[in-house]
Structure 1
Amino acid sequence: MTLENLLSNKRSHIIKRWQDAIIASYPKDSQGFLKRTKSQFANPVGWIIAKEIETLYDEVIRGEDAEKIAACLETIIRIRAVQDFSPSQAVAFVLELKDIVREALGIGPSPEMDALDRHLDKVLLIAFDVYSKCRQKIYDIRVREVKNQVGKLLERANLIVEIPETAPGVRDDNVSTSL
């Protein structure tokens, strides 16, 4: 039986363990809520993790479509990027899949497991790229917001004056455009 078949047969067990590992990275008081509440509206974080982990797992065992993997990762990592996770904590769940798979399948070192490890390392790099883009977007939003706030404060203090398009006393019909 191939590794892909074994991973498909143990799919639900591996996904459950992976989801539990992700939820374990949250504070203790949040873990129970994330596990218990299944509603998309009452628990959007738990719902997104459960939904996207399944899709991500399927894409990872299928293989090489980096765009689909990045799309699955983006939804999960976008949440983790705005929470109090360091970059390594935000993407560590990808590496946890290696141990979960080894334990679930009971397989030692083999060429197939080495290939899966290399593939998961690539997925980890994609996850880090996604995390970096999310953090950059958050930073850009914060900078834009600070600029807007400072501009409004300067306007209120009458320290900003709009400059007219033409100088006072100069009309368009007085300006010669030919040289």
Structure 2
Amino acid sequence: MVKAYIHDNDSSVDFREDHDTGKPVSLEKLEQIGLIYRKFDTQEEVDQFAQDRDYKNRDIVNITVNSFPDEETMISKLNVFYAEHLHEDEEIRYCLDGEGFFDVRDPFTEEWIRCRVQKGDLLVLPAGIYHRFTLTSDNYIKALRLFKEEPKWLAYNRPDADDNRYRQEYLTQVGL
């Protein structure tokens, strides 16, 4: 089960640490802001989910210290992932191994909700939601990325994306 909680916003601590305020966030709250969470034990379950949601493409990403020439390069790349942004497509990740944090911006309170994904967790972030990603302090995740169409890797950073059509559609979908 995904562990979700309010992020403490303590920027003096490495963003790969837990940042757990002790304030849990329920699956119902995640659903309210448009996230979909599933726990799958088999590839067949993931394949059925992908088929049911008409995901046509996939790949596997393996992010570890060894994926980069050195730790400084890895941190530089993680800083890009950790910048608050949105996409015009859903972001679908199934954790095959390791773990990571997806932080999503609660559109009602503006708080960060941190979701710790581990092996077997599948998380779908809706198009238009502000979010960011980082590894945990273990510095390792292997994830299956699913896509409805061809992958689009355009990130639109906040606040420039506030007027983005997909952002506005997202806010309407959640009732804002």
Question: Under a length normalisation based on structure 2, what TM-score does the superposition of the two structures give?
Answer: 0.25
Q: Which structure: greater helix fraction?
A: 1
Structure ranking higher on relative contact order (CA contacts 8 Å, 6+ apart): 2
Question: Under a length normalisation based on structure 1, what TM-score does the superposition of the two structures give?
Answer: 0.25
Q: Which structure: greater strand fraction?
A: 2
